[in-house]
Chain A
Amino acid sequence: MAGQGPLLAIEDLRTVFRSSAGDLPAVDGVSVSVAPGRTLGIVGESGCGKSVLSLSIMRLVPRPGRITSGSIRFDGRDLLTLSEGEMRGLRGGSIGMIFQEPMTSLNPVHTVGRQIIEAVSAHKDLSASAAKDVAIDALRRVRIPAPEKRFEEYPHQLSGGMRQRVMIAMALSCEPRLLIADEPTTALDVTIQAQILDLLKLLQQETGMSIILITHDLGVVAEMADEVAVMYAGRVVETGPVNAVFGDAQHPYTLGLFGSVPRLDGENQSLLAIEGTVPPPFALPPGCRFNPRCGFASDRCRSEMPLLRPLGPSHQAACWHAPVEAEFG
């Protein structure tokens, strides 16, 4: 994060889901930030809290979830103190969001053009023809061929990749400064994935927006992100510039994630799996949350929760054994 201050800075955010068993933390003391024009990748398994984190930024956490503490500063304003009306102005305005499921994220009863116009007119007071121009322009910007024709079509007439392009066009129609992409390519096949990622990169260069990219795909992060935050069970366990984290991973969980990715360069043919699953929020172990699945776990890991500690320029990991070399190297 060079030079200027961050566009978005999340401090110690805690989002809990109220239940009969008490407040269950889905996001538990997360601090991350994104600088203007940069891309933050948030990685983790299913259930680690990354989607709740993105919904928290939009203040769209579904009930019974709610944000209990922390701050989300966007462009100098704390989003958690804004009124619902001010927040609505930001959603789709300065902060755009795209979702995992392009197949179901568009309303089947309206044409795609109609839906983009709605997104635009929620923020700008435009005449019908001006709004249509903006919408067609948005479709053109996401490289949809024959945008005038697609404008009139219904979602079921479009392929998955096309629909995700429409979603991106909708999210970018008001030129947001931050785009939150929640697993934007998970539901798409591999070639379409690459196209969509290339498109996002291209659009970022054109508009200078920041991107928060939520994914479980390390390949996507490597290709897209400048910084990365690895999440586990509601907490950030390792964060830093992509090169630092990918080149010199320190948290055993991060190492485990890398071990479970197949490589095409011939090395290390057998894939390592991390045993077990992310513990649910009602059954978090004491100490480090990763300790039941960690090969390095010691008594200290089982009793005391490690906090993020600096390991290099803006590279941090939350592990008692980090840096790894110090003990095992």
Chain B
Amino acid sequence: MNATVTAPAAGPAATPAAPTRAGVFRRLATEPGAAIALAFVLATIFAAVFAPILAGADPYENNLRAAMRSPGGDYLLGTDAQGRDLVVRCLYGLRATLIMGLVSLVIGGGLGILVGFCAAFYRRIDGLLMRLMDILLSFPAILFGLAIAAIFGPGIVAVVIALSVATVPLMARIVRGAALVVMRLDYIEAARAVGMSDARLIWRHLAPNCLSPIFVFATLRFGQVILLGSALSFLGLGAQPPTAELGAMAAEGRNFLFFAPHIAVVPSVLIFMVVLAFNVLGDALRDALDPKLRV
């Protein structure tokens, strides 16, 4: 019987190689929009980190004689109602806003990732976890921020809690979806068959293969979180005056909108640019990380 002839089964197409880190970076750099967004994001981060050195002045020092100066002249972006240089204020404001966004994203995103993996991995609790996420999802973040501010009092902490809670269900859904696809792949079963523990299986095999959607979503979500955080501050729930935070600064400028519009416009435009840059970067990252989208 060893003279049997068997038709070889057609093997499936080889799995596309994971894009390398350098490759992703190169793709980002060659896309003009993405390159500009990336450069802007990096500049923003640089400015926020080195704000005290770059600003060279105290963002809280009043100088009423120089109040409400228009942009140009001695002050590049003008001064606010207390005569504080808006360049200085914006640098510190950017810092506060980015930190607020980052902390919310790390806490909310981290919890969301955990929930997403657990839901995909332990199908028994999948329904329960995802219904919980649906409940969270049905609260508007602004409303949630109001409730938190009512409990803890307004401030950056309230904003961070509200934004974290609002991020958890979104991240959980993204991660669960990505993980469910990976869970069906053969190498997960193969890893089980060599006796790997659940925690190792999730950490070593599931997580690395879900990283692209997590990164893309985190980048996009960062822009949204900043916008929401600024909105909450603008509504008076977040950073309180005189704290230099972009949303709060825009709120302060609201009263002078007719005679010194730049006080509100400058921080608002900065928020707009930062959010736009993160959104463009997120989209570009998704295209760069997904080899199937390359035509």
Residue numbers of A with Cβ under 8 A of B are 58, 60, 63, 88-93, 96-97, 99, 101, 103-110, 118-119, 122-123, 154-156, 160, 167, 170-171, 186-190, 193, 217-220, 222-223, 246, 261-265
In the complex, are the beta carbons of A167 and B190 less than 8 A apart?
yes
In the complex, are the beta carbons of B204 and A118 less than 8 A apart?
yes
Q: Mark B250-291, 1 if CB is under 8 A from A, else 0.
A: 000000000000000000000000000000000000000000
Contact residue among A123, A187, A262 (Cβ-Cβ distance under 8 Å from B5): A262
In the complex, are the beta carbons of A122 and B192 less than 8 A apart?
no
User: Which residues on B sit within 8 Å (CB–CB) of A105?
Assistant: 186-187, 189-190
User: How many contacts A-B (CB < 8 Å)?
Assistant: 127
Interface of A is mostly: loop
In the complex, are the beta carbons of A60 and B189 less than 8 A apart?
yes
Q: Taking the complex as formed, is B14 at the interface, i.e. its CB lies under 8 A from any CB of chain A?
A: yes
User: Which residues on A sit within 8 Å (CB–CB) of B5?
Assistant: 190, 219, 262, 264
Given A91-B193, A97-B193, A156-B15, the answer on whether A122 and B200 have CB atoms closer than 8 Å is yes
User: Which residues on A sit within 8 Å (CB–CB) of B3?
Assistant: 219, 263-265
Given A104-B15, A217-B4, the answer on whether A91 and B189 have CB atoms closer than 8 Å is no
Q: Taking the complex as formed, is B30 at the interface, i.e. its CB lies under 8 A from any CB of chain A?
A: no
Q: Taking the complex as formed, is B293 at the interface, i.e. its CB lies under 8 A from any CB of chain A?
A: no
Some 11 contacts from A to B, beta carbons below 8 A apart, are: A93-B195, A101-B11, A104-B15, A104-B185, A104-B186, A104-B187, A110-B208, A171-B193, A190-B8, A219-B6, A223-B2
In the complex, are the beta carbons of B4 and A170 less than 8 A apart?
no
Chain B: interface size category = 20 to 34
In the complex, are the beta carbons of B186 and A101 less than 8 A apart?
yes
13 additional contacts, CB 8 Å, given A89-B195, A92-B194?
A: A101-B186, A103-B12, A107-B191, A107-B209, A108-B15, A122-B194, A156-B15, A156-B17, A170-B190, A190-B6, A217-B4, A223-B1, A261-B1
Q: Taking the complex as formed, is B125 at the interface, i.e. its CB lies under 8 A from any CB of chain A?
A: no
- Of B5, B195, B196, most buried by chain A (CB within 10 Å of CB) is B195
User: 10 closest Cβ contacts across the A-B interface?
Assistant: A219-B4, A92-B194, A222-B1, A92-B195, A91-B195, A264-B3, A119-B194, A97-B193, A104-B186, A105-B190
- Of B1, B123, B200, B205, most buried by chain A (CB within 10 Å of CB) is B1
Q: Which residue of A lies closest to B194 (CB)?
A: A92
User: Which residues on A sit within 8 Å (CB–CB) of B194?
Assistant: 91-92, 96-97, 118-119, 122, 170-171
In the complex, are the beta carbons of A246 and B1 less than 8 A apart?
yes
Given A60-B193, A91-B192, A122-B197, the answer on whether A219 and B15 have CB atoms closer than 8 Å is no
Q: Which residue of A lies closest to B190 (CB)?
A: A105
User: Which residues on A sit within 8 Å (CB–CB) of B15?
Assistant: 103-104, 108, 155-156
CB distance from B154 to the nearest CB of A (A): 44
Bound CA span A265–B185, Å: 41
Bound CA span A266–B204, Å: 53
- Of B12, B18, B192, most buried by chain A (CB within 10 Å of CB) is B192
User: Which residues on A sit within 8 Å (CB–CB) of B12?
Assistant: 101, 103-104, 187
User: Which residues on A sit within 8 Å (CB–CB) of B185?
Assistant: 104
Q: Which residue of B lies closest to A116 (CB)?
A: B194
Contact residue among A103, A122, A170 (Cβ-Cβ distance under 8 Å from B11): A103
Bound CA span A264–B2, Å: 9
User: Which residues on B sit within 8 Å (CB–CB) of A58?
Assistant: 192-193
Contact residue among B9, B17, B191, B200 (Cβ-Cβ distance under 8 Å from A108): B17
Q: Mark B151-184, 1 if CB is under 8 A from A, else 0.
A: 0000000000000000000000000000000000
Q: Which residue of A lies closest to B8 (CB)?
A: A189
